[in-house]
Amino acid sequence: MNESLVLRRDDGSVRVLVLNDPERRNPLSDPMAAALAEALDAAERDEGVRAVVITGAGPAFSAGADLDFLRRVRSETAEANLAHSRRLRDLFLRVYTFPKPTLAAVNGPAVAGGAGLATACDLVVMDEEARIGYTEVKIGFVAALVGVLLVRAVGEKHARELLLTGDLVDAQTAYRMGLASRVVAAGTSVDEAVAWAERIAANAPSSLALTKELLASFYGMGLEDALRYAAAAGAWIRQSEDLEEGLSAFFEKRRPRF
């Protein structure tokens, strides 16, 4: 495992993961995907880590496509191409369902798979000069995996616009579509994302994890099934230690110690 492809540092309770292949604009190569998955596993195991920020080294967040992969893709077998797609699928699913809050600090272009990685995160903080786009159609690909995430993030009409044009959009347009959660001054996305993550991480860990699980599940459920599931989740959380501490802190007029 090439750990140098994903740098790690802790800022309080926030683990910052930096995609570190700046000369190639941080493509989601198989080694990069594997290194990021391993870094997420380590962040989940570490009880001191309450939230994760993902960003890119250098001027780009992630250009998405690995040029070496693009050069050989037509000569790969169907089995090899399916295995590659499944590895990327597993990475996006890991980020989307990660039990701790995830924030993308988009410091520069986020393109194709790189845009998908940002979309898989809970929240997206974009530099005002950054761009994001799902450009697969421009060279004959289909944004299949990232399209699943994009429809959930921005709805079908905005997803159609982004996926059918393949255009890169600026940060303000991404914000208007609901793709970016915040737009910040150039060069500040990581600091702003870390500060936001720290605020979120101060909330009850079990509540955050269960909220994420509910949000991931509700999308494909009918109304009655979703309400039934929500009722069970609401009953379960009432037995948690976090709720006991939260209520004690509330009545004692102090900060909870989660």
pLDDT 10s digits, 211-235: 999 999 998 899 999 999 999 999 9
Least confident of 60-64, 98-102, 184-188: 60-64
> Is 163 within the bounds of a domain?
yes
Tell me which residues are annotated as active site: 136
Given this model, what pLDDT does residue 208 score?
97
pLDDT, tens digit, 9 for 90 and up, residues 44-64: 999 999 999 999 999 999 998
| Domain that residue 156 falls in | 3-201
* Whether 146 contacts 153, CB under 8 Å: no
- Domain end point (choices 163, 178, 201): 201
- Same domain for 129 and 219? no
Q: Are residues 31 and 88 in the same domain?
A: yes
* Dihedral of alpha carbons 99, 183, 18, 135, sign: positive
Residue 147 has pLDDT above 70, yes or no: yes
Kindly tell me if the per-residue pLDDT of 92 is higher than 60.
yes
For residue 7, what are the β-bridge partners?
Answer: 18
176 lies in the same domain as 140: yes
**What CATH number has the domain bearing residue 73?**
3.90.226.10
User: What pLDDT sits at residue 3?
Assistant: 67
Distance CA 33, CA 64 (A): 11
Q: Are residues 210 and 189 in the same domain?
A: no
Same-domain pairing of 222 and 99: no
State whether 12 and 102 are in the same domain.
yes
Is residue 106 domain-shared with residue 155, that is, in the same domain?
A: yes
Q: What is the pLDDT of residue 257?
A: 93
Please say if the pLDDT value at position 124 is more than 90.
Answer: yes
Q: Is residue 155 part of a domain?
A: yes
| Cβ atoms of 25 and 63 closer than 8 Å | yes
Instruction: Quote the distance between the C-alpha of residue 133 and its chain's center.
Output: 15
Residue 75 pLDDT > 70: yes
- pLDDT band at 73, cuts 50/70/90? confident
User: Based on the domain organization, do 144 and 111 belong to the same domain?
Assistant: yes
Q: Is pLDDT of 32 > 60?
A: yes
Average pLDDT (108-134) is 97
- Under the banding of pLDDT at 50, 70 and 90, the label for residue 1 is low
Same domain (yes/no): 99, 213: no
**Same domain assignment for residues 147 and 234:** no
Mean residue pLDDT across the chain: 95
Do 87 and 158 fall into the same domain?
yes
Distance CA 214, CA 103 (A): 18
Mean pLDDT, residues 99-106 = 98
Give the percent of the chain with pLDDT over 90. 89
**Among the three residues 179, 201, 223, which one is the final residue of a domain in this structure?**
201
Mean pLDDT, residues 104-130 taken together = 97
Would residue 187 count as lying in a domain?
Answer: yes
pLDDT band per the 50, 70, 90 thresholds, residue 2: low
Q: Does a structural domain hold residue 258?
A: no
Let me know whether 25 and 130 are in one domain: yes
User: Whole-angstrom Cα distance, residue 127 to residue 180?
Assistant: 10
Kindly indicate the confidence band of residue 71, based on its pLDDT and cuts at 50, 70 and 90.
confident
Residue 74 confidence (pLDDT): 82
Q: Give the CATH number, domain containing residue 213.
A: 1.10.12
> For the chain, how many structural domains are there in total?
2
CA dist 81 → 73, 84, 138, 149 (Å): 7, 5, 19, 21
